[in-house]
Amino acid sequence: NEGNEYFKEKDYGRAVAAYSEGLRRRSGDAELDAVLLTNRGAAHFHMGNYRSALNDAIQAKKLKPTHLKAIIRGALCHMELKNFSEALAWCEEGLQIDSKEKKLVEMRAKADKLKGTFLGIQTDFCTHCQGRAVMGIDLLCERNIKLVLEPSDEEEEVSDGLAEISLDGFHSDSATGAKVHLDADGNLNWPVLFLYPEHEQTDFTVAFHENSRFIDHLMVMFAELPPWDLEKKYLPNNLELYFEDEEKEEMYEVNPEHTLLQMLQHKRYFVKAGTPTVLVFAKRSPFSKKYFSGKKVHRL
């Protein structure tokens, strides 16, 4: 009930915390837990945490396969993540339960239309960016930002969930459904994905100004402890940030006092699918020690 009240007030962070507390009570009632998961997923969805929302929908559907609200929420998450084939499958599953459910009927039509499509973009080769580039890429080149584009559908079969990138007019549909955009002052604002490997959670910032510092965002994001941080370790000044160089299989620590642009300009940072990604760990935690074991880590 607390969660529902917070949800009505659009205080989605507190709603997530309340629903999580309800789940921690382990009622043993599968139907109640399915409702709690679905509601928490709805709160995550409104916060832009589409992957966390999808995880809750999946768990809710496992507990109650006929829970239509969970199926609708899962389908919506897949649409936001541009997983159109999966969205279509979830819609079909829901329509088996209620063939007249308006949201699913409309979503199925949209997913079917978008399934497998890929935005055709005019490309050329940019040696500075070390790969295929698009018209308008000079906005990134002048900032020394390296963008990795997926192969075009002419080169290999494109997965249904492939992000569509178009910098002609400058926008990029990221894996999270948001777009990088140029503001009136000529600065870029990026969608940024924060990953918490220890807890398999994500956070998503829709518009991270390129000249904003990471610590400023962390102070807002962790003004209150997240519901999954039972040990109360994830405090703004107790966090370490990293990015992964997948090609060399190496990790680089990011200074929280640095701006997003400073990280993007690092010689080994490559923006994939239009969305910068940062890994977040609690300082000196047993999990991070294990996670970094065997990896080459470049620390500050």
Identify the pLDDT of residue 184: 75
Question: Between these two residues, 121 and 281, which has the higher pLDDT value?
Answer: 281
User: How does pLDDT run across 177-186, given as a tens digit for each residue?
Assistant: 566 777 777 8
Q: What is the DSSP string of 204-251?
A: EEEEEETTSBHHHHHHHHTSS--TT-TT----GGGEEEEEEETTTTEE
What kind and span of H or E run contains 126?
Answer: strand 123-126
H, E, C per residue of 57-121: HHHHHHHCCCCHHHHHHHHHHHHHCCCHHHHHHHHHHHHHHCCCCHHHHHHHHHHHHHCCCCCCC
141-160 core/surface letters (b: 16 or more CB in 10 A; e: else): eeeebbbbbbeeeeeeebeb
Residue 254 has pLDDT above 90, yes or no: yes
Question: In which residue are the tokens 């936001």 written?
Answer: 80
User: How does pLDDT run across 73-88, given as a tens digit for each residue?
Assistant: 999 998 888 788 888 9
Residue 164, helix vs strand vs coil: coil
Q: How confident is the model at residue 149 (pLDDT cuts 50, 70, 90)?
A: low
Task: Quote the CA–CA distance of 117 and 40 in Å, as a whole number.
Answer: 31
Instruction: Give the list of residues 6+ apart from residue 176 with CB closer than 8 angstroms, or none.
Output: 48, 50, 51, 80, 81, 191, 193, 204, 275
Identify the pLDDT of residue 137: 62
The structure's pTM equals: 0.53
Task: Quote the CA–CA distance of 180 and 192 in Å, as a whole number.
Answer: 9
User: How does pLDDT run across 179-208, given as a tens digit for each residue?
Assistant: 677 777 788 888 898 999 998 888 888 778
Task: Quote the CA–CA distance of 177 and 48 in Å, as a whole number.
Answer: 9
Identify the pLDDT of residue 255: 97
Instruction: Give the list of residues 6+ apart from residue 9 with CB closer than 8 angstroms, or none.
Output: none
Identify the pLDDT of residue 187: 84
* 248 phi-psi bin (left φ>0, alpha ψ -120 to 50, beta other): alpha
DSSP 168: T
Identify the pLDDT of residue 174: 41
Of the listed ranges 58-72, 177-191, 197-211, 256-270, the least confidently predicted one is 177-191
Residue 260 has pLDDT above 60, yes or no: yes
Residue 158 has pLDDT above 60, yes or no: no
Nearest residue to 108 via CA among 81, 76, 139? 76
Residue 36 has pLDDT above 70, yes or no: yes
Domains and CATH numbers, the chain: 1-119 (1.25.40.10), 170-299 (3.10.20.90)
Residue 290 has pLDDT above 80, yes or no: yes
Question: In which residue are the tokens 């990134």 written?
Answer: 140
- What are the residues facing 245 on neighbouring strands? 250
Question: Between these two residues, 125 and 211, which has the higher pLDDT value?
Answer: 211
Identify the pLDDT of residue 251: 94
The arithmetic mean of pLDDT across residues 55-63, rounded, is: 91
The arithmetic mean of pLDDT across residues 226-241, rounded, is: 91
Mean pLDDT for all residues in the chain: 80
Identify the pLDDT of residue 108: 87
Tokens of 113: 């239309």
Tokens of 78: 């897949």
Residue 241 has pLDDT above 80, yes or no: yes
- What are the residues facing 201 on neighbouring strands? 196
- The answer to whether 292 touches 249, Cβ cutoff 8 Å, is no
